[in-house]
């Protein structure tokens, strides 16, 4: 693949993720408002928020590590953009992906969390470091079951670690979710996604009402805008990752209806995230760890065993 083609994919991936992510953020806020019997913000609200943040002053707190504080948002944004570009290529040409892109995606998807941890520790604020340490524990909590359930489609597709082959397997042999192990794995993946996106009940690192935005407390202007944009883009990237792994619905080559089907599933997943976030209370970080390690991980192991048995 040439350099120009690569830049094209990166730019395309960024634009798609930013636009869909902004829509997802608006959808989230609008549904929240409707659940609370309010009207909610207009469609272009995320655009206004982002442009406004670009125009604001950037403040670096006294005692903060200036370079790390300002570069942390860039790490997260860059990683999300690369994942989005990889997905774009996987969806357009499922046959031409490289070996191991699944592992690359899993690695890249943890970088936004690491950016939050770095940024919060660099900002020299006690509440921010509290948020950062909570984010660290959150990552440790959900990453284990998440990795286990990602193994299920890999085992089903005959041990491949190429996203394209997983999509092609599901196009010919039926979706992974149409089996017992697939259903268990998908439900666990949805729970892990809620934690990955740091939404209620797993929003302990942010906790607006408790530690006042936690990791983001010292961020302002462009830096805050980039963090927000990364968060919104994650709302596109992570659900798409689950759809590729478990449903394979993005296979538009078979028929264009699959694309419509994929959009409907995506909106369904967004609706699920929003409704869970509106009907639950925030868990403490120790409760989150207990939940993931004691309750979710055994089911994830069960799903992997069932997948090995071919169920």
Cα–Cα dist 112/94, whole Å = 26
59 belongs to the binding site for other proteins (CB under 8 A):
yes
Q: Is residue 151 within 8 Å of 307, Cβ to Cβ?
A: yes
User: Quick one: which segment of 42-50, 100-108, 173-181, 253-261 binds other proteins (CB under 8 A)?
Assistant: 42-50
**Distance in Å, CB of 305 to other proteins, minimum:** 44
Q: Does 126 bind other proteins (CB under 8 A)?
A: no
- Indicate the residue among 182 and 213 with the shorter CB distance to other proteins: 213
- DSSP H helical segments within 1-65, as ranges? 3-35, 45-55
| 19 near other proteins, rule: CB under 8 A | no
Window 212-251: contact mask with other proteins (x via CB under 8 A): xx--xxxxxx--x---------------------------
Q: Which is nearer to other proteins, 59 or 99 (CB)?
A: 59
> What is the Cα–Cα distance from 100 to 93, expressed in whole angstroms?
16
Binding flag, residue 51, other proteins (CB under 8 A): yes
Structure tokens at 203: 């929003």
Contact by Cβ (8 Å): 196, 112: no
Q: Tokens 């659900």 map to which residue? A: 239
| Residue 124 makes contact with other proteins by CB under 8 A | no
**The token pair that represents 117 in the structure block:** 């941890």
Of residues 19, 29, 252, 301, which one binds other proteins by CB under 8 A? 29
Considering only the stretches 49-57, 160-168, 184-192, 230-238, report the one whose residues sit in contact with other proteins under the rule CB under 8 A. 49-57
Cβ closer to other proteins: 56 or 290?
56
Gap between the Cα atoms of 55 and 48, Å rounded? 11
CB of 283 to other proteins, least distance (A): 19
User: Residue 134: CB partners within 8 Å, gap ≥ 6?
Assistant: 204, 205, 207, 214, 285
Interface residue with other proteins among 4, 36, 159, 257 (CB under 8 A) is 36
Contact between 57 and other proteins (CB under 8 A)? yes
Cβ(135)–Cβ(117) below 8 Å: yes
- Tokens 């549904």 correspond to what residue? 31
CA distance 139 to 192: 10
Q: Which is nearer to other proteins, 152 or 215 (CB)?
A: 215
Q: Is 63 in the site for other proteins (CB under 8 A)?
A: no
DSSP summary character for residue 247: I
**Interface residues for other proteins in 172-211 (CB under 8 A)?**
208-209
List C-alpha distances in Å: 61 to 13, 52, 119, 210. 33, 21, 12, 21
Q: Does 40 bind other proteins (CB under 8 A)?
A: yes
Applying CB under 8 A, the residues found at the interface with other proteins are 29, 33, 36-42, 44-45, 47-52, 54-59, 208-209, 212-213, 216-221, 224
């Amino acid at each position: 693949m040439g350099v120009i083609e690569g830049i094209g994919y990166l730019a395309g991936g960024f634009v798609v993720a930013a636009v869909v992510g902004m829509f997802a953020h608006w959808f989230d806020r609008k549904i929240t408002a409707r659940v609370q019997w309010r009207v909610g913000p207009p469609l272009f609200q995320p655009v206004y928020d982002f442009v406004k943040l670009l125009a604001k002053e950037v403040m670096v707190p006294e005692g903060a590590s200036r370079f790390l504080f300002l570069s942390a948002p860039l790490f997260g944004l860059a990683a999300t953009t690369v994942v989005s570009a990889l997905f774009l290529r996987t969806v357009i040409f499922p046959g031409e992906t490289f070996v191991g892109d699944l592992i690359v995606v899993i690695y890249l998807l943890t970088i936004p969390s690491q950016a939050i941890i770095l940024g919060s520790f660099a900002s020299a604020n006690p509440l921010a470091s509290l948020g950062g340490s909570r984010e660290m524990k959150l990552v440790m909590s959900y990453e284990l079951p998440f990795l286990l359930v990602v193994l299920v489609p890999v085992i089903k597709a005959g041990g491949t670690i190429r996203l394209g082959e997983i999509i092609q397997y599901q196009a010919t042999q039926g979706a992974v979710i149409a089996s017992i192990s697939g259903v268990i794995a998908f439900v666990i993946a949805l729970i892990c996604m809620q934690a990955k996106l740091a939404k209620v009940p797993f929003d302990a690192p942010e906790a607006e009402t408790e530690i006042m935005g936690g990791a983001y407390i010292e961020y302002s202007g462009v830096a805050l805008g980039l963090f927000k944009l990364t968060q919104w883009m994650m709302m596109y990237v992570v659900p798409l990752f689950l759809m590729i792994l478990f449903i394979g619905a993005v296979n538009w080559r078979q028929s264009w209806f699959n694309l419509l089907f994929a959009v409907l599933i995506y909106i369904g997943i967004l609706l699920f995230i929003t409704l869970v976030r509106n009907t639950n209370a925030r868990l403490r970080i120790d409760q989150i760890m207990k939940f993931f390690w004691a309750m979710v991980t055994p089911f994830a192991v069960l799903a992997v065993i069932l997948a090995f048995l071919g169920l």
